[in-house]
Chain A
């Protein structure tokens, strides 16, 4: 099973809202990733968790707050976002220090 699931599939939020994106994998992977992707551009890395600990934060604004409750789950908490944060948010997983990453279907976020 090489499936990574993400919910919700679509999300519309105002700039004062608080929302969360969720990601789940059952492949036994111990590394999980959040990416942001703009239309027709490659994914941009935001955060990496390895063994449930944050190992990489690519200078992401604090209005994005990641959380890894256990080895199968990854959340991204959103607060006070800006319209330019509208994008496809992708979750991925892999074995730690293994380069083969498997992506979820993404959450399409629109900030109004």
Chain B
């Protein structure tokens, strides 16, 4: 297993466009998390899944953001009608929900979004 993969690594878009990010977690992990990180700040939680169920969404996540994990494997994060304030690094992480490795998150390299 090569770890958590995120695609694309970089995305530049114009304000008002829609963007979609994909995350492929470690295959054995049943939990998948999305975070947003701006320069020099700690990651902010957006949402997480256990298998295909979305268990929690942050109040930071406006209606323009939607995340899915349809088969409990990869996940997508879509941002509609992007705004300049959406510019950030979007981090995906995965983990087990039980056992000695529970809640030890393995992070991907992130998808950097720039909204012009």
Whether both chains belong to one complex is answered with no
Residues of chain B whose beta carbon lies under 8 Å from any beta carbon of chain A = none
